[in-house]
Amino acid sequence: KAVIGVRLAELMDLKVSDYITLLVRTKDDTFNTIDIEIAGLVRAPNPMINNGIVFVPLEVAQKALNVGNAVSMITLKTVSG
C-alpha cells in the first residue's frame, strides 16, 4: 500500500482505497510499473511532498527498480519531545 500527498490526490481525483499505477525507471534503464493501493494521504509542510511524492514500502520499490536488497538512501527526520 502507498501513501500520497494530499495535493497529488486532489489533482488526480484519488482517495484512500483507490489504486494508482506508477511508472518507474529501473537500474537497468528500462521501465517497470507498480500497481498499488492508496492507504493514506499525507499533508506536509513541504509542498513538494504534497504535490508529487508517493511513499511505497521499501520491498515494493526494490522489486520494481530491480535493485535486490540495495538501498541508496533512507531519510529520517526527528522531532524533540
Residue 70 pLDDT exceeds 80: yes
Q: Is residue 70 part of a domain?
A: no
pTM to 2 decimals? 0.78
Q: Cell 481525483 sits at which residue? A: 13
Q: Is residue 79 part of a domain?
A: no
Q: Is residue 76 part of a domain?
A: no
Q: Is residue 75 part of a domain?
A: no
11-50 per-position pLDDT tens digit: 999 999 999 999 998 888 999 999 999 999 999 999 988 9
Q: Is residue 49 part of a domain?
A: yes
State the residue range of the domain holding 22: 2-65
Q: How far apart are CA 38 and CA 62, in angstroms?
A: 18
Residue 10 pLDDT exceeds 90: yes
Q: How much of the chain is in helix, strand and coil states, percent to nearest 5? A: 25, 30, 45
Mean pLDDT of the chain: 89
Q: Is residue 80 part of a domain?
A: no
Total domains in the fold of the chain: 1
Q: Is residue 38 part of a domain?
A: yes
Q: Is residue 72 part of a domain?
A: no
